[in-house]
Amino acid sequence: MFIIGTGVLMKPKWHALYSENIRPFEGYSIGKLFKYLKDPDIISLAGGLPSPDMFLRDEMRLVSRQRLEKDIEKIMQYSDISGESALKEAVIEFLESDGIRVSEKNVLITSSGQQGLDLTGRLFLDPGDALLVDRPTFAGALVAFQMQRPLFYGLDIESDGTDIEGFREKIKSLEQKNQKPKFMYVVTDFQNPSGITMSLEKRKALLDISETFGIPVVEDSPYRSLRYTGENIPSLFSLDQQRGGGHVIGTYTFSKLFCPGMRIGFNIGPEAVIEKMNNIKEGSTLNTPKYNQDICTAFLKEMKWQEYMSRCREYYRKKLSVFLTAMDRYFPKVPGVAWTRPEGGLFSWVTLPEGIDTTALFYEAVKHKVAFVPGKAFYGENPACNHMRINFSYPSAAQLEEAVQRLAACVETRLS
């Protein structure tokens, strides 16, 4: 005799059913802050947003209409998983202008730089693997890699970039424990969040480490085209190619250069690596939307992107000047208070005296109608809590000055 059902309804114990990788995963802490910024009177220095003043509105309308009239049936279908050939060709030309030579087999189109980081983490990392990063470093990369549960080993970033000797010694100590790092992750130009740029000498030295120990470098390059002062420094990828190549994987996005809404990026690297990343993409998003790719291709081929980037650099250069002038004028001049003076990018890193928790300060600042990102989010382990990331690209010049005054008043209150 079979008894079908007992009359007792069993609900799934959801948490126990989650995978071990995801169970402790809490997502992107920075994204969670934005629910506090709905008040239109708050001036936000928090998000890494390009200014809408620089969006190519008329050009977007024109190329959108042209593409939809000419190619709408293909736009509404699936497309090549590795990316449209036309976009790959445009990306190859884009990279050539920066001294990088690749073929289509070395390029994978991604749905934003964040997907590029996610593919990188999923390709290389197993739970417990070692990973070398700067302190601080890009929070989006940390959260992408965290889903694989690696062990982060961070070294405090220096004024000219990565602590090279610290990386070298950390690798040696980890190798003694049979914990060779899977890769070294760096943002070489105008790092998010610090705004610091790695010197040429350190780039060469980092490649020396990669060659000596056989550990690849993941170079994240969202901002290279946004240099406002100083001389351009060759990318790690191009320097590696001069040595024969094969040690660097590059992750890129057009979110800061063109517009975030398109969600287009790309990864470059050895053919075997790109092929394997493509396999992972086949099992997740399949293709990046063709419409988005076509519009990005038009940006690179039809919108005179180099002239456009020149206009962006001039625009953001003025924003940065307004921000730094306001910081010099209004921010407390006491021991322990400092901020970086980036040569490009979108961010400055502010340090406060130890003992001031910028997460608590964030909620006070919101009451004063100004916002930033607490520095805690930018550490893979043992976070320092007395820093904040400031974005200067999004607010207007007048808003920037007002925001700095409001933030300075909040800091003064905590210091008193």
Inform me whether the pLDDT recorded for 6 exceeds 80: no
**Which of 101, 105, 91, 88 has its CA nearest to residue 244?**
101
Inform me whether the pLDDT recorded for 196 exceeds 70: yes
pLDDT, mean over the chain: 95
SS (H, E, C) the chain: CCCCCCCCCCCCCHHHHCCCCCCCCCCCHHHHHHHHCCCCCCEECCCCCCCHHHCCHHHHHHHHHHHHHHHHHHHCCCCCCCCCHHHHHHHHHHHHCCCCCCCHHHEEEECCHHHHHHHHHHHHCCCCCEEEEEECCCHHHHHHHHCCCCEEEEEECECCECCHHHHHHHHHHHHCCCCCCCCEEECCCCCCCCCCCCCHHHHHHHHHHHHHHCCCEEEECCCCCCECCCCCCCCHHHHHHHCCCCCEEEEEECCCCCCHHHCCEEEECCHHHHHHHHHHHHCCCCCCCHHHHHHHHHHHHHCCHHHHHHHHHHHHHHHHHHHHHHHHHHCCCCCCCEECCCCECCEEEEECCCCCCHHHHHHHHHHCCEECEEHHHHCCCCCCCCEEEEECCCCCHHHHHHHHHHHHHHHHHHHC
User: Residue 26: which pLDDT band, with cuts at 50, 70 and 90?
Assistant: confident
The stretch 310-324 carries a mean pLDDT of 98
Would you say 174 and 154 are in contact if contact means Cβ atoms under 8 Å apart? no
Q: What is the pLDDT of residues 47-69, one digit of tens each?
A: 999 999 999 999 999 999 999 99
Q: What is the pLDDT of residues 335-387, one digit of tens each?
A: 999 999 999 999 999 999 999 999 999 999 999 999 999 999 999 999 999 99
| Residue 249 pLDDT | 98
| Residue 38 pLDDT | 85
The stretch 395-399 carries a mean pLDDT of 96
Inform me whether the pLDDT recorded for 2 exceeds 60: no
Would you say 209 and 155 are in contact if contact means Cβ atoms under 8 Å apart? no
User: Residue 1: which pLDDT band, with cuts at 50, 70 and 90?
Assistant: very low
CA terminus-to-terminus distance, the chain: 79
pLDDT-above-70 percentage for the chain? 98
Least confident among 10-24, 261-275, 340-354 = 10-24
Inform me whether the pLDDT recorded for 331 exceeds 80: yes
Q: What is the pLDDT of residues 97-154, one digit of tens each?
A: 999 999 999 999 999 999 999 999 999 999 999 999 999 999 999 999 999 999 999 9
Beta strands at 107-110 and 248-253: parallel, antiparallel or unpaired: unpaired
**Which of 222, 159, 251, 158 has its CA nearest to residue 167?**
158
The stretch 208-214 carries a mean pLDDT of 98
Distance CA 388, CA 191 (A): 14
Would you say 197 and 341 are in contact if contact means Cβ atoms under 8 Å apart? no
Q: What is the pLDDT of residues 118-131, one digit of tens each?
A: 999 999 999 999 99
The stretch 3-30 carries a mean pLDDT of 82
User: Residue 5: which pLDDT band, with cuts at 50, 70 and 90?
Assistant: low
The stretch 239-257 carries a mean pLDDT of 97
Domains located in the chain, CATH noted: 18-56+307-415 (3.90.1150.10), 57-304 (3.40.640.10)
